Structures are given as structure tokens and as C-alpha cells.
């Protein structure tokens, strides 16, 4: 990316933060908190997710067969199925069916994907969106900013201004109630005038040809009920085998998305059905809204003759099915949990964190699959891999991994002109074309090694205005960020000189302390504290020289380099693992590599061995205390007031409670943050195009730690990135929790 591209991107993000950020933040936070509350009420949440996942796995595996079955069923019921190859094919078919008649639509992202409204209007049809948020966007001529609540970026005041300007009502509209009543009435007339009802479908059952529509307003019901032609548009991936398969999805979709246990209406339509229609619009169709009262003399008509067309959209999906990394995307039920749980999304919304149609974490998979990699490339970097979406996904899609793979593909698809400069100088496994900024951060290990070897000179040089300006222009490293200061003596070197202070024969346990790149070269103090704390509990510690875990290159989409790093780390740690020693990890993002991403980077047996024997340092201390070690050897907290921010990936692994328990055991008074992520996310906050977003996200955390209750508390965080962000945003200097336990 050029310096100008970075500047443009930063400007666009700044504009959205200013204009849409507040509304998006307020609404997504409500959804996200609602999700936590709603899923907590389910006794069988995990098994429901497993069930939903396996239904989708099976359905996508058997998709061709299920599509045949569905087609047979619907045709036997008297309907028509059309499988459209792409958007143009779908639009041509739908336009022919509609044939210039009036259309009322309920919300459907798939119709947004194919842009059917434009095609229908070009063919002479009048189209009205009846979902209230879609209606707002239709008259504002804007694109959805969220897949479930598409007008989430607009405040009530903005909607009122828009309505008052466009419709010029006798009394200006002001409250949400007035706006809703007005829209209901206005759209009610459009519904009575329409002859074609268009819906999406959340699920379609192959056995009975039943469409399941998840809604709250009742507009989808009306669109189908009032008209005599029903056109449903859905991606081919929406097919599930049987009606019974709907149950886990019905229980999960509302909870996962907007935090509702269930939405107001779950319509199960098996067309044609015998529910009556309003017949053809007021006095014979196609005439628009003018003329006589559309209600005059209209009777309910038999619904048995209702025409039904199911338009199933391929548009790249069958190819996604063949793609080992993108296939999971097809399991997505578009609940929006990955958007609502994402700190970046919460702050900037889908107009930045989205492509041509879809937004949020899973959008990278959708956009890459249906619109192409360029559309995904526009926003893919906004996924920092924090993994907060992972546990919230009702079909257990590894959304960060999809983002990583697509980033890797984007890296490889770019032609670079600096190959001569970087090939050979960097030790990675990547092709020449990759963005220099990504390559810099991806090779943090090499950088840190050099920085440490030449410290403190390297730190002084790097901090000069000239160096910062060059770094910003060539690498996009924002000059407003303080750079990490490298220590001359690495943790490994320190330990080699110092040696172990516990007799291995008398030790309670023997461990290998993993020296992640930050602890080894930058924050060596927390590494030393960890050694002393473990030794104080009679643990024999070794600090083997093991390289960077692969987290740094992985976050830049450099999968091959990450794999090479993972292999090297495993080789360095395998003697300890083979000898039955535990591996203790200080940096949560590296432990998360061992526990999550190594599954994709290492052979299964190596992944399992390392996963089973590796622990976060505070989790490990907790285990020792639980197994008889005395807390008295650790520093006495003596009621010291602490504000603790757990790390995003640490929370995804559910490791926050251990730190909390140990600190409280030691006598500290702990308050915790509840933000999803600090916003720093490794290199993200250093990048000049994202610096302001990073600070905006971090601001929410900083606010929580500057309340009356928290302002005097010692700030503690587990992740390096979180520590850097908090250091930048607060006047207090934050520290790692293990340093609080160090009685030295």
C-alpha cells in the first residue's frame, strides 16, 4: 500500500468514526451484551452449537443431492425452483417472473448481493423494501452497514430528519414510535398495492420444501400473505435436510445475533399452502399507488393458486464448497455475532468493515467467495485475529482463520516492485509481492533480534524524527506510536548466565518457560518475574531458546512463515515436552497459537502434545496453588486495588478466571474490564492507516479504567499489546500480573 493509499484509508475511517461510529457502537454493544445474557440461559448451548455445526457440515457435503431433493419436493408441491448461476442469471429470471408488477420485499442480504432491486426497477417494476431499516436505506439511498440491522449506523434523529425531508408530513415526525407508525402506514399501502411478494429464506428444508423466515416486524408475513406471487431468493447453502433440523438454529440465531431468545416470528412456509391471499392489487395490478382506495370491495381469495418461485443462487458458492478453507463460510447463518463481538466493528461499522454486500468478520469469506478477493481485500485487515467472535459463532466457524487465509491469498496475488529489496533480507517464506508493512511486522522476531543486539543504540536511532518519518512513509508505522525499546540482554541470555535456582530433584514440577519474542527482547522484566515466581513455588525452570511462535507472521496473513516458525518452536520445545515437562507461556497470544492455530500448522500429534502440556503462566500458578503450594511465598497484595484487563485470545480460551483467582488469593482487590479487545492487536495499532481506529477502540477500555472506582487502581494486563495500548492511553504505567506476584 502506498503512503497515499494509507492516508486515504485513514481519512475514510476517521470520517466513519465521526459520522457513524457512535450509533454503531451503541447498538452493537446492546446486541453483544444481549448475546452473552441470552446464551447463558441455555443449558445446552455448546451442544446446540455442535448440532447446528454438524447439520451444516452434512448439508454442504451432500448439497447437490439435497438440491435435487428440494427441487423435486417443491415441484411436486406445485412451485418452481430456479438455480441461478450468478447475479445476472438470477435477476433475469426474477425480472421475467415479476414482469413489471409491483413488488414488496422483506429483508434479504442475498437480494442485496445480486442487487435485484436495480434489475427490477430497470425492467419497469416498482420495488419497496418493507423491513423498516431497509426502507430507511432505500429512501436514503445507502448501503446496509450490518447484516441483521442494516441501518444500525443511523440515529433516530437522522431518520426523523430524513423522513421529514422526503415525505414532508403535516406534523414533523420525531419519536421512534411516530416514525414506526408512519412507516407502517406508508408501507401498508404499498403492500396492498403489490402483486409480488419477495422474501429471502434463512433455511430451506429439502424434505418438505419448507422455507424458514426469521423476522420480528411481521413484514415478511404480510409480503407473502397479501400477494399472489411469492418469489423467494436464497443462496444454495441455505438447504438443510429435514424440518427437525431447524430446531437448533431457531434456538441459536436470535440469541447469537441481537441477543433475543427468539425473534417475534419464525415463519414456516410450505408453498403454496391454503392460507388466503388478498388477490391482485386494488382493482387490477401494475397501476402504481394512484387512483381509488385499494381496499374497496376486496375480499380474501383462496391461496391455493398462489404462484411460488424459489430462486437459489450459486454465484460462487459451489466453488466455495470445493475450497477447503472457504467451505466453512457456507455454514454461516448470518446471525451477525461476529460483527457485534468485534471491537473494530463496534467502533467503525460495516461501511468500513465490509465489502460489496457483507460486513463483519465472516464477510471476508463471503466477499472472497461471491464477489472476489479484491472486495475482501478492502477490509480484511480490520480483522485482527483477536478471536472474540470464535466462541459466539453458532456454527463454530473459525472466522479468524478464514480472514488469515484470504489475507495470505491477497498477499500472494499482489505484484510487488520491491522484490529486490526484501527478498533475501527477510528470513520469511513469502513471495516478493507482499506489502512491506506486513513483511516488517511479520518478521518481528528478526527485527527484535537485531534491535536487541544493537541496543540501546537501535532504540535511540529508531526514535529520531528522521527515522520515524522514514518508517511512516515507507512502512506505514505511525509516528504517533511509541516503539518498543529492545533490551540489550535477552531473557534467554539472562537465564543462561543466572541458571536455575531450584534443585531439579527436589522440584515440585519442572517446566520450560517459553520466551516469546516480546518477553525475550522487550519486556524481559516480566520473564524474570515469571522465573522467580515459579521458583518460589519450588518449580524448576528452564528457558530454552525458542523462536517467535508464528503469531506475528500469521497476523499478517503470512501462513507459510507462521508454519516455519511453528515447526521451529516445536523443535525447540519438544525435548521438554518429551521429558514430561510442562510448557509455561507468558504471552496469551502465543499460548493461543499453541492451543488454536497450531492445529492448522503442525502435524496432529505434535499439536496435541504441545496443547496438552502448555499453560498460561497465571493459570499454571493457579494449578500449583490448587495442588498444595502455599500462597504465602507469593507477594502479599495487602488489599492493593487493581484494574485488570484480560487479553482477547486469553478470554476466548477462558483463561481470565485463573488470573483473577490468583490475584484475589494473594490479597489484591481486583476490578476487571469488559471490552472485547484493547484495540492494539499486535501490529494493528502501529499501522498508520488504522492508528486512529485503534485509539478509538482503546478509548473504551481507557474509559472503564478512569471511572471514579478505577482511577486510582494499579493497571494490570496480560497481553503485550494491551500493555502498550494502556501505556499510551493512561497516565499510569500498566504491568503484567505475574510481576505483582514477584515477592522480590
Residue among 57, 62, 164, 273 that touches another protein (CB under 8 A): 273
Region from 57-65, 259-267, 610-618, 676-684 binding another protein, contact rule CB under 8 A = 259-267
Q: Are 589 and 682 contacting, i.e. CB atoms less than 8 angstroms apart?
A: yes
Q: In whole angstroms, give the CA distance from residue 29 to residue 718.
A: 24
d(CA 683, CA 393): 25
Q: How far apart, in whole angstroms, are the C-alpha atoms of residue 3 and residue 689?
A: 9
Residue of the chain from 97, 140, 243, 728 that contacts another protein (CB under 8 A): 243
78 makes contact with another protein (CB under 8 A): no
Size of the site for another protein (CB under 8 A): 65
Q: Do 254 and 260 contact (CB within 8 A), yes or no?
A: yes
SS3 of 301, please? strand
Between 287 and 433, CB nearer to another protein: 287
Instruction: State in angstroms the smallest separation of the CB of 248 from another protein.
Output: 9
Neighbour order of strands in the sheet with 80-84: 80-84, 307-313, 229-235, 196-199, 103-105, 127-129
- Cell 477490509 belongs to 379
Task: Give one DSSP letter per residue of 195-233, joined into a string.
Answer: SEEEE--SEEETTTTEEEEEESSSHHHHHHHH-SEEEEE
Q: Smallest Cα–Cα separation from 387: which of 420, 418, 427, 343?
A: 343
Q: Which of 197, 200, 271, 361 binds another protein (CB under 8 A)?
A: 271
- Spatial neighbors of 560 by CB under 8 A, at least 6 apart, are 408, 428, 429, 430
Q: Does 251 bind another protein (CB under 8 A)?
A: yes
The SS3 assignment for 121 reads helix
Minimum distance between the CB of residue 266 and another protein, rounded to whole angstroms?
A: 4
- Asked if 269 interacts with another protein (CB under 8 A), we say yes
In the bound complex, what is the minimum distance in angstroms from residue 79's beta carbon to another protein? 11
- Under the binding rule (CB under 8 A), the answer on residue 272 touching another protein is yes
Is 136 a residue that touches another protein (CB under 8 A)?
Answer: yes
Cα–Cα distances (Å) from 242 to 59, 72, 632, 737, in that order, read: 10, 14, 60, 51
Angstrom distance (rounded) from CA 85 to CA 317? 9
Q: Pull the grid cell for residue 698.
A: 482503546
Residues 6 or more apart from 141 whose CB is under 8 A from it?
none
Under rule CB under 8 A, residue 263 binds another protein: yes
The single residue among 142, 161, 186, 188 that binds another protein, judged by CB under 8 A, is 188
Q: Restricting to residues 150-169, name those near another protein by CB under 8 A.
A: 151, 155-157, 159
179 contacts another protein (rule: CB under 8 A): yes
Contact region for another protein (CB under 8 A) — 268-276, 476-484, 585-593, 665-673? 268-276
Distance (Å, rounded) from C-alpha 681 to C-alpha 647?
Answer: 10
Say whether residue 21 binds another protein (CB under 8 A): no
Backbone angles phi, psi at 455, to 5 degrees: -70, 150
What end-to-end distance do the CA atoms of the chain give, in Å? Answer: 48
* DSSP class of 76: H
**699 touching another protein, by CB under 8 A:** no
Region from 231-239, 263-271, 478-486, 600-608 binding another protein, contact rule CB under 8 A: 263-271
Q: Is 265 in the site for another protein (CB under 8 A)?
A: yes
Q: Which three cell numbers stand for residue 274?
A: 391454503
Nearer CB in complex with another protein: 248/682: 248
**Could you tell me where the DSSP H helices lie in 395-435?**
399-413, 419-422
Per-residue cell: 320: 466455495
303 binds another protein (CB under 8 A): yes
Closest to another protein by CB, 21 or 685: 21
- Residue 164: all three cell numbers together: 421529514
Q: Which residue, 346 or 411, is less far from another protein as judged by CB?
A: 346
Q: Which of 47, 180, 630, 707 binds another protein (CB under 8 A)?
A: 180
CB of 174 to another protein, least distance (A): 10
Distance CA 695, CA 690 (A): 9
Backbone angles phi, psi at 714, to 5 degrees: -70, 130
Selected from 5, 165, 261, 571, the binder of another protein by CB under 8 A is: 261
For residues 112 and 516, which CB has a smaller minimum distance to another protein in the complex? 112
Identified binder of another protein from the candidate list 33, 167, 264, 630, rule CB under 8 A: 264
Per CB under 8 A, which region of 245-253, 509-517, 624-632, 714-722 contacts another protein? Answer: 245-253
The reply on whether position 547 binds another protein by CB under 8 A is no
CA-based torsion, 548, 550, 555, 557: positive or negative: positive
Cβ burial of 731 (10 Å; 0-12, 13-18, 19+) is exposed
Please select the residue that binds another protein; options are 4, 141, 171, 177, rule is CB under 8 A. 177
112 close to 305: Cβ distance less than 8 angstroms: no
Choose between 188 and 432: whose C-beta lies nearer to another protein: 188
Among 187, 533, 558, 629, the residue binding another protein under the rule CB under 8 A is: 187
Stretch that binds another protein, among 85-93, 254-262, 335-343, 517-525 (CB under 8 A): 254-262
| Site mask for another protein (CB under 8 A), range 190-229, x = bound | --x--------------xx-x-----xxxx-xx--x----
Is residue 419 at the binding interface for another protein, with CB under 8 A as the rule? Answer: no
Q: Cβ of residue 155: shortest distance to another protein, in angstroms?
A: 6
d(CA 61, CA 65): 9
Answer for which of 2, 76, 168, 297 binds another protein (CB under 8 A) is 297
- The stretch among 240-248, 531-539, 664-672, 701-709 that binds another protein (CB under 8 A) is 240-248
CA atoms of 313 and 92, how far apart (whole Å): 12
317 neighbors 85 (Cβ within 8 angstroms): no
Question: Where along the sequence are the contacts to another protein (CB under 8 A)?
Answer: 27, 130-133, 136, 149, 151, 155-157, 159, 176-177, 179-181, 183-184, 187-188, 192, 207-208, 210, 216-219, 221-222, 225, 242-244, 246-247, 250-251, 258, 261-276, 278, 295-300, 302-303
Amino acid at each position: 500500500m502506498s503512503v497515499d493509499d494509507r492516508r486515504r484509508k485513514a481519512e475514510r475511517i476517521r470520517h466513519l468514526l465521526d459520522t457513524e461510529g457512535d450509533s454503531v457502537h451503541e447498538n452493537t454493544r446492546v446486541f453483544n451484551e444481549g448475546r452473552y445474557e441470552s446464551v447463558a440461559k441455555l443449558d445446552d448451548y455448546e451442544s446446540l452449537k455442535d448440532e447446528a455445526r454438524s447439520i451444516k457440515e452434512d448439508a454442504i457435503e451432500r448439497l447437490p443431492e439435497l438440491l435435487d431433493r428440494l427441487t423435486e419436493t417443491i415441484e411436486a408441491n406445485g412451485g418452481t425452483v430456479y438455480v441461478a448461476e450468478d447475479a445476472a442469471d438470477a435477476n433475469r429470471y426474477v425480472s421475467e417472473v415479476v414482469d413489471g408488477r409491483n413488488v414488496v420485499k422483506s429483508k434479504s442480504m442475498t437480494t442485496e448481493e445480486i442487487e435485484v432491486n436495480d434489475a427490477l426497477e430497470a425492467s419497469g417494476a416498482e420495488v419497496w423494501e418493507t423491513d423498516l431499516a431497509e426502507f430507511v436505506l432505500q429512501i436514503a439511498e445507502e448501503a446496509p452497514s450490518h447484516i441483521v440491522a442494516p441501518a444500525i449506523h443511523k440515529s433516530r434523529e437522522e431518520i426523523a430528519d430524513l423522513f421529514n425531508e422526503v415525505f414532508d408530513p403535516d406534523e414533523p415526525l420525531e419519536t421512534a414510535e411516530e416514525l414506526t407508525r408512519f412507516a407502517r402506514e406508508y408501507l401498508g399501502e404499498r403492500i396492498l398495492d403489490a402483486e409480488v411478494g419477495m422474501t429471502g429464506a434463512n433455511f430451506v428444508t429439502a424434505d418438505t420444501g419448507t422455507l424458514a423466515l426469521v423476522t420480528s416486524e411481521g413484514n415478511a408475513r404480510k409480503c407473502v400473505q397479501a400477494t399472489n406471487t411469492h418469489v423467494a431468493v436464497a443462496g444454495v447453502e441455505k438447504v438443510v435436510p429435514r424440518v427437525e433440523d431447524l430446531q437448533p438454529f431457531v434456538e441459536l440465531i436470535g440469541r447469537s445475533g441481537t441477543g433475543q431468545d427468539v425473534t417475534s416470528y419464525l415463519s414456516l412456509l410450505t408453498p403454496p399452502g391454503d392460507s388466503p391471499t388478498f388477490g391482485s392489487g386494488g382493482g387490477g395490478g401494475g397501476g402504481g399507488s394512484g387512483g381509488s382506495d385499494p381496499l374497496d370491495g376486496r375480499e380474501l381469495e383462496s391461496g391455493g393458486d398462489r404462484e411460488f418461485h424459489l430462486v437459489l443462487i450459486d454465484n460462487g458458492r459451489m466453488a466455495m464448497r470445493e475450497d477447503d478453507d472457504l467451505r466453512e463460510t457456507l455454514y454461516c447463518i448470518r446471525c451477525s455475532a461476529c460483527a457485534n463481538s468485534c471491537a473494530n466493528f463496534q467502533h467503525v461499522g460495516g461501511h468500513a468493515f465490509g465489502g460489496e454486500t457483507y460486513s463483519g468478520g465472516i464477510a471476508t469469506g463471503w466477499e472472497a467467495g461471491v464477489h472476489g478477493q479484491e472486495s475482501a481485500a478492502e477490509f480484511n485487515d480490520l480483522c485482527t485475529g483477536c478471536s472474540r467472535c470464535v466462541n459466539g459463532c453458532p456454527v463454530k466457524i473459525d472466522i479468524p482463520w478464514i480472514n488469515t487465509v484470504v489475507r495470505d491469498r491477497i498477499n500472494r496475488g499482489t505484484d510487488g516492485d520491491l522484490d529486490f529489496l526484501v527478498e533475501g533480507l527477510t528470513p520469511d517464506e513469502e513471495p516478493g509481492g507482499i506489502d512491506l508493512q506486513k513483511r516488517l511486522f511479520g518478521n518481528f522476531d528478526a527485527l527484535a533480534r537485531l534491535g536487541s543486539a544493537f541496543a540501546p543504540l537501535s532504540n535511540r536511532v529508531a526514535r529520531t524524527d528522521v527515522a520515524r518519518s522514514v518508517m511512516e512513509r515507507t512502512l506505514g508505522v505511525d509516528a504517533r506510536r511509541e516503539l518498543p525499546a529492545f533490551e540489550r540482554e535477552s531473557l534467554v541470555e539472562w537465564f543462561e548466565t543466572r541458571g536455575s535456582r531450584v534443585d531439579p530433584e527436589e522440584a515440585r514440577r519442572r517446566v520450560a518457560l517459553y520466551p516469546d519474542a516480546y518477553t525475550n527482547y522487550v519486556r524481559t522484566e516480566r520473564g524474570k518475574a515469571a522465573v522467580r515466581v515459579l521458583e518460589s513455588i519450588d518449580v524448576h525452570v528452564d528457558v530454552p531458546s525458542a523462536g517467535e511462535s508464528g503469531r506475528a507472521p500469521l497476523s499478517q496473513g503470512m501462513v507459510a512463515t507462521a508454519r516455519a516458525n511453528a515447526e521451529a518452536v516445536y523443535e525447540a520445545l519438544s525435548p521438554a515436552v518429551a521429558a514430561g515437562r510442562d510448557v509455561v507461556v507468558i504471552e496469551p497470544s502465543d499460548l493461543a497459537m499453541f492451543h488454536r492455530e497450531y492445529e492448522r500448522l503442525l502435524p496432529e500429534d505434535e499439536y496435541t502434545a504441545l496443547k496438552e502440556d502448555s499453560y498460561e503462566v497465571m493459570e499454571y500458578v493457579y494449578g500449583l496453588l490448587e495442588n498444595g503450594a502455599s500462597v504465602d511465598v507469593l507477594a502479599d497484595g495487602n488489599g492493593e486495588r487493581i484494574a485488570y484487563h484480560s487479553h482477547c485470545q486469553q478470554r476466548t480460551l477462558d483463561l481470565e478466571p485463573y488470573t483473577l483467582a490468583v490475584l484475589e488469593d494473594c490479597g489484591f482487590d481486583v476490578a476487571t474490564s469488559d471490552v472485547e479487545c484493547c484495540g492494539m492487536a499486535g501490529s494493528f495499532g502501529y499501522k498508520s492507516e488504522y492508528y486512529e481506529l485503534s485509539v478509538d477502540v482503546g478509548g473504551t477500555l481507557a474509559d472503564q479504567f478512569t471511572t471514579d472506582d478505577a482511577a486510582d487502581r494499579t493497571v494490570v494486563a496480560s497481553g503485550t499489546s494491551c500493555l502498550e495500548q494502556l501505556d499510551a492511553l493512561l497516565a499510569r504505567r500498566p504491568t503484567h500480573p505475574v510481576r505483582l506476584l514477584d515477592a522480590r
